[in-house]
A and B are shown apart, each in its own frame.
Chain A
């Protein structure tokens, strides 16, 4: 890849050079260092080319580790890799919501992209409801880019990548992975394959439901009291499992204090991978590893300390700032 200032062209050089460059960028990202705009552009273009070839529901083999929401908590993402073997050794599926809320949305997303480019068959990225232009403009990613670059170009490049992310994954034809949940418009997994995913997530329709809906103790499909969005219950989950001959739906999207929560007799699990969410919830995080026998094992991890041993700030804290409020 070419990270020089020679306009916004990108060049594929020898594979070896490309990997070396990627490794360098990965090191920088892990330290939370600044990545130049043209370099981000080049990464995003390459990622798009790669993601374009993936189907809406990607096939993944076991063993694999399923990870939930990250929300820009770069340091906790590093802990996640550390505790679960690392991308050099293990396979991963990320269920979306890489950005927003945390302070390092860009670095977290780019790190995952770099891993994707460096180890394409070892990491699968699924789109979350935060991987959209509309949501990132309100919940932090856009502001973070404006703060870090002074303009919104990098945000635009990233949003273009969002449009190419897969909608789901299926592990050994037995475990279905999705960000939010089910949709009344989708009965079989094959129906997801016919969605035109390369667009901003619409406000309604199957694509929207898959990224937004929530499981709940309801008897049938019901409407959220907010006036938009579906809730689904055990009946819908059992039906979906049976129709598609699968045993588990793994999803993220909702904060769980213990990092994961199994529902409906183990037919559905919520995995949450952002410890001490928003730097104040005090929750732990989890990832779910599915082995060759489709056995589930959860790895729990805690948030990194906000300061290192030297008293240096690693994460900007949200301590109460004293003020003379009235």
Chain B
């Protein structure tokens, strides 16, 4: 809403502008002197109040972050891409902003010890690339409307040559090439009316003694031409590469993520959020595959989420979380499938007094916290001691 007000404003002195200029200047000055994180935190509240601060998002840090994380003040990470907003060395965190169509490369990256985290965001695939994917790479699948096929998130361990990456192609390879069995809410009504029409016309053409059908709808029109899972449900957990066979995840469902440590508001050194593919399901809901990553000094958390909502039918969430403990060279991967009936979830939310209950069903966080868990798996990889 702040932006809207900004546009409506007539000529005159713009206080926001002055404030913005002050901030830019302050940042430039600050960037010359490497300062520790504790000091940055204490400067933050003043700048974060300006709503339309230009150039890049500078999120307000939670109050409590000032005390504990400041203790760990020695800097051990390297910001690998100087064109991106400067990293904590220089006064702020990396929040890559999306690049639209300019031929700029947006390939931010960060290194902590032997770990390198990098992301790349590119526009959706063009027709040529789509054709290639449709005819070769993903033969048999009608592709989702939006594929960010050149984007990825990658976590690499350099000394052991191990890495895990999330990309759209591998995610879509897991989409089944058979009937999902799921139909949109009005499918039955639609089919019934078409079949009725078909019968009517058949009777009519018999009555008229005509051998030609009167309409284009013959039996084939009510058949599905190509079978594939149109909801694009994927159980993708990331693409691993390893120089040695011994670096493999080991299944251990008793493992849990260190939620207490992750919940701590440690300073975030690198943050990104990207969509790998999305489909509007012909306005019958949404199917979206999204990756979020945040890197702190001691660990990182990656969340890959597939979110599906078929309006008036069902809701499905498939979450994969990856935690890397940098000091222990330990990787934990947790995989969860959740699914619930649309109407049951809607009633559940109605009880929590909201004027727009359907809004909650568009919020994947609310949904994930409220739908039944179907499966949970956990895997662990200890790179220091793989056996």
A residues neighboring B (CB under 8 Å): 31-34, 129-130, 135, 138-139, 143, 147, 184-185, 187, 203-205, 212, 216, 218-231, 236, 254-258, 261, 276-277, 280-284, 302-303, 307, 310-326
B191 touches A282 (CB 8 A): no
B217 touches A184 (CB 8 A): yes
Closest B-chain residue to A134, C-beta based?
A: B283
B187 touches A226 (CB 8 A): yes
Report, nearest first, the 5 A-B pairs whose CB atoms are least far apart: A282-B123, A227-B187, A227-B183, A311-B54, A222-B225
B225 touches A231 (CB 8 A): yes
A258 touches B57 (CB 8 A): no
A315 to B4, CA, bound (A): 9
- Residues of B near A187 (CB, < 8 A) are 216
- Residues of B near A230 (CB, < 8 A) are 221
- Residues of A near B281 (CB, < 8 A) are 226
Contact (A321, B57) CB under 8 Å given A138-B283, A257-B125: yes
Give per-residue flags for B164-196: 1 if the beta carbon is below 8 A from chain A beta carbons, else 0.
000000000000000110011011111101100
Is residue B252 contacting chain A, with contact meaning CB distance below 8 A? no
Closest A-chain residue to B221, C-beta based?
A: A221
- Residues of B near A212 (CB, < 8 A) are 282
Which of B153-161, B267-275, B324-332, B371-379 lines the interface with chain A? B267-275
A324 touches B124 (CB 8 A): no
Closest A-chain residue to B179, C-beta based?
A: A225
A317 to B95, CA, bound (A): 14
Is residue B351 contacting chain A, with contact meaning CB distance below 8 A? no
22 contacting pairs across A/B (C-beta < 8 A): A31-B7, A130-B283, A143-B356, A185-B215, A204-B193, A212-B282, A218-B226, A222-B221, A222-B226, A226-B282, A227-B184, A229-B190, A236-B216, A257-B123, A257-B126, A303-B100, A314-B7, A317-B97, A322-B57, A322-B93, A324-B265, A326-B262
Interface residue total, chain B, C-beta cutoff 8 A: 82
- Residues of A near B17 (CB, < 8 A) are 310-312
- Residues of B near A311 (CB, < 8 A) are 17, 20, 54-55
A258 to B303, CA, bound (A): 32
A189 to B316, CA, bound (A): 42
A135 to B99, CA, bound (A): 30
Is residue B68 contacting chain A, with contact meaning CB distance below 8 A? no
Contact (A216, B225) CB under 8 Å given A310-B17, A321-B59: yes
Interface of A is mostly: loop
Q: Given A139, A184, A224, A317, which contacts B224 in the complex, CB threshold below 8 Å?
A: A224
A139 touches B283 (CB 8 A): yes
B184 touches A228 (CB 8 A): yes
A145 to B165, CA, bound (A): 41
A31 to B7, CA, bound (A): 7
A282 to B121, CA, bound (A): 10
Excluding A312-B17, A320-B97, 12 further A-B contacts by CB distance (< 8 Å) are A32-B4, A138-B283, A203-B190, A223-B225, A224-B282, A227-B188, A276-B100, A276-B101, A318-B98, A319-B56, A322-B93, A324-B294
A313 touches B3 (CB 8 A): yes
- Residues of A near B63 (CB, < 8 A) are none
Is residue B107 contacting chain A, with contact meaning CB distance below 8 A? no
Give per-residue flags for B349-387: 1 if the beta carbon is below 8 A from chain A beta carbons, else 0.
000000010100000010000000000000000000000
Q: Given A135, A280, A324, A326, which contacts B98 in the complex, CB threshold below 8 Å?
A: A280
- Residues of B near A326 (CB, < 8 A) are 259, 262-263, 301, 303
B8 touches A34 (CB 8 A): yes
Give per-residue flags for B131-152: 1 if the beta carbon is below 8 A from chain A beta carbons, else 0.
0000000000010011000000
A223 touches B223 (CB 8 A): yes
Q: How far is the CB of B364 from chain A (nearest CB, A)?
A: 11
Q: How far is the CB of A285 from chain B (nearest CB, A)?
A: 11
A325 touches B294 (CB 8 A): yes
A220 to B220, CA, bound (A): 8
A221 to B220, CA, bound (A): 7
A32 touches B54 (CB 8 A): no
A315 to B100, CA, bound (A): 14
A135 to B283, CA, bound (A): 7
Closest B-chain residue to A218, C-beta based?
A: B225
Is residue B62 contacting chain A, with contact meaning CB distance below 8 A? yes
Q: How far is the CB of B142 from chain A (nearest CB, A)?
A: 8
- Residues of A near B262 (CB, < 8 A) are 326
